[in-house]
Structure 1
């Protein structure tokens, strides 16, 4: 449950208007204008109050121009990238109109778009201040709803809501109230709405009465002379009317005579009342304007009074004094559902009675040891609830992401825990020089072998690793180490399990998912969300916001977007025709969801990072939503790991194409500065796949094969890290060349955990410690020198690619990167161009002995001086030593005049 750290933020109190004196019902419509002006339109009649005015002034106005560089343009990114396809442009315009219609539909049910993403504040199980617990869930197909659990003997008839009775609304939301039970010998509260403070122990409610609180509020809140209006809220407006038209002024528009111009009447009024005594009315000057084309007048208020009025706050603090504390509650009541209670939701449906784990449950124990899954009510007392210690680190401009799976992060062959990860892995990530951890498999899932991608409970951190507070501690300690925390979020599909998942949740096939073939993934046996349904959007958007608010997450990697954006789930041959991105197989509702998700997340959490994982590279992934894009911050380049794997397994070393390596790693230069690159992630290591280290050095039997494997392992990581955009990722253990793949326990391996762990002991010595030393220095190079941000628009200047010599060279600011992939040929003096004349010093060399190399470059050769020779289009060049299968990073340390 949500910890009530500030009860005033979520408790509903009786309305005590700060401006009861000023409330009135004039025959007009009132608007608050800048410069303390009130515009009153007499043509419209409505009830209004000064309270409404102050709120409307603070409410942000809708901005039609979301971007300062061109405003809202549904096809803006097309022209920027030179795309002229008319069919796709029309598709974007239609999508933009559909988005506007969707937002209008949402605003019919919600205050604003942000409210759509705050469903977790009322859905699920929540402590109510009036000594009870409220449960709400969405099940439009049910006709009866109740909670069953160890707190009421698993009785489906107690604390229930039935169709046609209190507890069910038109949208299919059910409300069940579990009252705290009065202890034996205790009397019920005298005040019906008696509220309790569950955070603090003080019991102020026993010291004061409600009458005393109201008297104190009136005495201390109102200004002298204002008390006369407390009991008559119409007096001020009638006095104002009397001042304008006199005590016997016209009562209807027909009685209104022809009036002089406003300025003449105003001067006459001032002259008539110049000797009047001071009034208790609000100090203001009145300017009347009855021109037929406007039909309105303005009241210009005193600025000093208006500022004081705006600073007034409702006397809620006094009302809080009537609340009783936690000790008083525990003394008087037995909690209706104590912390740690097991429960499920019971539905009576046309399909018969069903028991389900609630969709919004925040702590779930999946099926284990033959027992059915159940939810756990998580509401620890304040003294034992987790308290956050660290703030979010600043969002770095270059991301060095360390991808992790908590369950396999331990040394022993078993499921590791959140606490073990916090104690053992986080310090290693910090030492390794990464600045982000990206966690996979965190959301609750029933089957461990699925790695966590078949999610059953979207609001729950997996209980197999520990409690919700354990996960909070992990995130908090990561922040303390200066690490951002990203989640691999799976909103592209869901588990098909019925008891613990969302499938057939309320007895109907189309509650959360499409019906028929559309609702089932073609190959993975999972269910596909119905993104066009308002309540499904409510669920998914709230889920994103929940992880940000409750667990202080810093960003999301949106998993497998191709599965959701196409009805063929991404399993189709793409020819490169742009019309394939807007044909009948594209799910426009899924695209609208992604646009809404990015829009809302970036408004609610401006420092968030969102990453798109899409193998089809849908146009506009990283473009602003106002310019027709989907709004992601980064996108994943899937081609790079596939290329490396293909080369290592299928192509002899001397046949590698340098041109293909460069073109694959750099991708589309228009979007490379938002590209996330990696040589391998968990996909290359898990369930049957082989990591690069396993391919290169796993079966090395001679020093020669070991040297080859280590050399290529370092070079592949270095060029992947430094040639692309500002984001790089590696999977846990691959930084030191973990020699074995990952295989989760399943029937095919007799549920063995022997490969579901990481061998951290390899870091002590040997080749793996040397590979780790290189990776650590590679990360330090970016940490100290901001390598990934160098170059033109954060991209390298690739000036030398030679398929014959198998040499690649490129520049990033003052840094020169030189790679020799040839398996046998070395060079004493290889000429590469540089842009500045000067002395260049080696900052990183893959062939050093401390990194497992041969040390063929002498230390005296670590400083090279440029010569005036035009190479690679540059005025100067370096003649550098290049051993085979090695790479060096040079830095310009001294500029020479020529």
Structure 2
């Protein structure tokens, strides 16, 4: 009998020794789905948000919570002066579920509320796990749930929006720091000011960070406390819906950073010790604590936890019409040691005892559910391990993500800038790093994200220009260090975007070389908002050099968009001349030529090609991008044979030092 080989293994024979493990994972996921759903669909199963939490009914209100270790639960709030009262006492209805029904006039829209949960030895006030809106008192800083039930629910206008099949050009953004003023900015401000800017810049997908409620603003939204509540520090749930609605009206998809990898340890406003136990949502003991993040780790083997998290996915997709997720901390979830201290240099690292089968199964179910809710939804994995099959279909033996983040590229660029002189940049290694990926899996390529912009790290522009950023950025101020930095900034981003493995990402402000790092208010900076903002005025100011970078990014993204460049899977090496620091590659009809040499410009430099005619469509040395205008962009370029007509043709070019040219091959009119 012929051995069954999942398509993932058929596509990569090196995986054959692990075909049994891959097949087992498929079987386990199918079995687990049947156990959870009882034969129903994942869509029907993942509806906990429609049952749990506070809901308005035709005759009043009903609230349910899961707290298996509780002995008594009371609803307390502004409506009963935060006192435990018999009429607000929950009833245990079985399997750890508690329920309370109330008359219509018992509570009102806008009331604050919480749970007072009692267990055998103690009790504690808790923000309900399924709360849909949570607010913080400005004076006491205490978090409470708030009844959100406006008389007129939000009315969606762009109900027919569907994410297109175009490769995602992702604009990673944080609502709170998206404005210029030193404060927390709002959903409304982002909608009014940022949506038009993102649309004009050519991006087609917005990735919003820090949406689910988090107690500490400086966590960047990665220490979540309330998984079903959009952060109130930016505005109301309806204002977030309006933001997404108007983005859809502009043709922009909106995805969200989804943090299912861990949860904040906070007990009053989070899930920590929720019903008096550590193990309700999380693993007990050391396994339940992340050693590097000071947070709790979910138990993906527990049915109620999987129900909670899958319902969370369906909730954001349906209630707010998000178009998908970038799953945070995937590596941490996949491995019992969270991927710490492993180089992942061989396939055995991905299929051994260190892999958490429950997490693997969870991802398979989560990605299947997303397509059931919205077949056009987008699923991206933030994974640094490179597990084979991560971004392959579930039915092929994969985990079902559409893309994974190419997390090695930012690290590579930083390493090159930090550790090598300009003359030592290895164009062969650059091309390898840019294109090294599994052929059957798509990646989101990026030169830098928010990680490189945080205090403790440096953006590419800061590493290249350093303190001169503050003194020599007027266009009438010559500075060799700044000129070098601007030239390389354009080349690095063009090389990364043009070779992207199916999608490209930029963090807001990085496109124009934002001069300030990100530092959220904290005790160490006297709770200052000075560096938790983006200064758009310097990008818009035509007298500043930031404007050059901003314009270049617009044209680069337009080139990629208009020519559907990222739909072309193959990126083909044409030339890598290490002594000269020259790199050239083809992508479809487009030829990309980079001269990374810091000193030498080349005249009549030959690029070996077939016979053809080319024209320049993008030039980093153009004066409108801060270059020296040394290349004629208006003429056509023809390949010339080295000898006879049948000999090797070359495209003879002038290549200025530290510059890149993009050519498009055009048809040569045939003689009549």
TM-score range for the pair, normalised by the shorter chain length: over 0.9
Measured in 2, the distance between the counterparts of 1:339 and 1:481 equals: 32
Which residue number in structure 2 is paired with residue 886 of structure 1? 659
Which residue number in structure 2 is paired with residue 670 of structure 1? 439
Shift of 1:145: 1.9
Alignment partner of 2:93: what SS?
A: coil
Which residue number in structure 2 is paired with residue 856 of structure 1? 630
Which residue number in structure 2 is paired with residue 691 of structure 1? 459
CA shift in 2, pair 1:825/1:74, >3 Å:
same
Shift of 1:152: 2.6
Q: TM-score, normalised by structure 2?
A: 0.94
Which residue number in structure 1 is paired with residue 475 of structure 2? none
Give the counterpart of 2:509 among 717, 725, 733. Answer: 733
Which residue number in structure 1 is paired with residue 604 of structure 2? 829
Checking the alignment, whether the CA contact within 8 Å between 1:654 and 1:823 is kept in structure 2 is yes
Alignment partner of 1:840: what SS?
A: strand
Measured in 2, the distance between the counterparts of 1:89 and 1:710 equals: 48
Which residue number in structure 2 is paired with residue 531 of structure 1? 300
Checking the alignment, whether the CA contact within 8 Å between 1:519 and 1:527 is kept in structure 2 is yes
Alignment partner of 2:80: what SS?
A: coil
Shift of 1:352: 1.4
Which residue number in structure 2 is paired with residue 799 of structure 1? 574
Checking the alignment, whether the CA contact within 8 Å between 1:146 and 1:346 is kept in structure 2 is yes
Which residue number in structure 1 is paired with residue 489 of structure 2? 713
Q: Tell me, yes or no, if structure 1 residue 614 matches structure 2 residue 383.
A: yes
Which residue number in structure 2 is paired with residue 331 of structure 1? none
Measured in 2, the distance between the counterparts of 1:120 and 1:573 equals: 38
Which residue number in structure 2 is paired with residue 147 of structure 1? 75
Which residue number in structure 1 is paired with residue 414 of structure 2? 645
Alignment partner of 2:218: what SS?
A: helix
Deviations 1:619-667 (A, max 9, x none): 1111111121100101111111001111112211110111111111111
Alignment partner of 1:78: what SS?
A: helix
Give the counterpart of 1:138 among 66, 71, 93. Answer: 66
Checking the alignment, whether the CA contact within 8 Å between 1:403 and 1:439 is kept in structure 2 is yes
Deviations 1:6-48 (A, max 9, x none): xxxxxxxxxxxxxxxxxxxxxxxxxxxxxxxxxxxxxxxxxxx
CA shift in 2, pair 1:571/1:859, >3 Å:
closer
Alignment partner of 1:864: what SS?
A: strand
Alignment partner of 2:667: what SS?
A: strand
Which residue number in structure 2 is paired with residue 123 of structure 1? 52
Deviations 1:748-789 (A, max 9, x none): 111111111111110212111111111101111122211222
Which residue number in structure 2 is paired with residue 75 of structure 1? 6
Which residue number in structure 2 is paired with residue 754 of structure 1? 530
Shift of 1:76: 2.7
Checking the alignment, whether the CA contact within 8 Å between 1:408 and 1:416 is kept in structure 2 is yes
Q: TM-score, normalised by structure 1?
A: 0.71
Shift of 1:168: 2.4
1:486-525 correspondence to structure 2 within 5 Å: 486-525=255-294
Q: Tell me, yes or no, if structure 1 residue 99 matches structure 2 residue 29.
A: yes
Which residue number in structure 1 is paired with residue 557 of structure 2? 779
Measured in 2, the distance between the counterparts of 1:649 and 1:119 equals: 49
Q: Tell me, yes or no, if structure 1 residue 172 matches structure 2 residue 101.
A: no
Shift of 1:585: 1.8
Checking the alignment, whether the CA contact within 8 Å between 1:161 and 1:168 is kept in structure 2 is no
Q: Tell me, yes or no, if structure 1 residue 769 matches structure 2 residue 547.
A: yes
Checking the alignment, whether the CA contact within 8 Å between 1:811 and 1:834 is kept in structure 2 is no
Which residue number in structure 2 is paired with residue 361 of structure 1? 131
Deviations 1:831-861 (A, max 9, x none): 11334x332110000001100001111345x
CA shift in 2, pair 1:84/1:681, >3 Å:
closer
Checking the alignment, whether the CA contact within 8 Å between 1:838 and 1:896 is kept in structure 2 is no
Checking the alignment, whether the CA contact within 8 Å between 1:834 and 1:874 is kept in structure 2 is no
Shift of 1:698: 4.0
Alignment partner of 1:601: what SS?
A: helix
Checking the alignment, whether the CA contact within 8 Å between 1:809 and 1:816 is kept in structure 2 is yes
CA shift in 2, pair 1:367/1:582, >3 Å:
farther
CA shift in 2, pair 1:826/1:415, >3 Å:
same
Give the counterpart of 1:845 among 584, 602, 619. Answer: 619
Shift of 1:356: 0.3
Checking the alignment, whether the CA contact within 8 Å between 1:73 and 1:628 is kept in structure 2 is no
Measured in 2, the distance between the counterparts of 1:619 and 1:368 equals: 47
Shift of 1:74: 7.0
Measured in 2, the distance between the counterparts of 1:870 and 1:788 equals: 36
CA shift in 2, pair 1:726/1:668, >3 Å:
closer
Which residue number in structure 2 is paired with residue 18 of structure 1? none
Measured in 1, the distance between the counterparts of 2:236 and 2:572 equals: 49
Measured in 2, the distance between the counterparts of 1:490 and 1:95 equals: 23
1:582-593 correspondence to structure 2 within 5 Å: 582-593=351-362
Give the counterpart of 1:559 among 303, 328, 346. Answer: 328
Measured in 2, the distance between the counterparts of 1:497 and 1:153 equals: 24
Shift of 1:73: 6.5
Which residue number in structure 2 is paired with residue 319 of structure 1? none
Checking the alignment, whether the CA contact within 8 Å between 2:129 and 2:226 is kept in structure 1 is yes
Which residue number in structure 2 is paired with residue 434 of structure 1? 203
Shift of 1:460: 0.7
Measured in 1, the distance between the counterparts of 2:78 and 2:4 equals: 56
Deviations 1:89-138 (A, max 9, x none): 22223323322331232133x73322221111111111111x11000111
Checking the alignment, whether the CA contact within 8 Å between 1:146 and 1:157 is kept in structure 2 is yes
Shift of 1:427: 0.9
Give the counterpart of 1:630 among 384, 396, 399. Answer: 399
Shift of 1:154: 2.2
Shift of 1:688: 2.0
CA shift in 2, pair 1:73/1:85, >3 Å:
closer
Checking the alignment, whether the CA contact within 8 Å between 1:833 and 1:870 is kept in structure 2 is no
Which residue number in structure 2 is paired with residue 216 of structure 1? none
Deviations 1:372-429 (A, max 9, x none): 21000100011xx321111324424211110001111110111111111111111111
Shift of 1:737: 1.0
State the superposition RMSD in angstroms: 2.0
Measured in 2, the distance between the counterparts of 1:886 and 1:624 equals: 40
Number of aligned pairs?
657
Alignment partner of 2:605: what SS?
A: strand
Measured in 1, the distance between the counterparts of 2:249 and 2:243 equals: 10
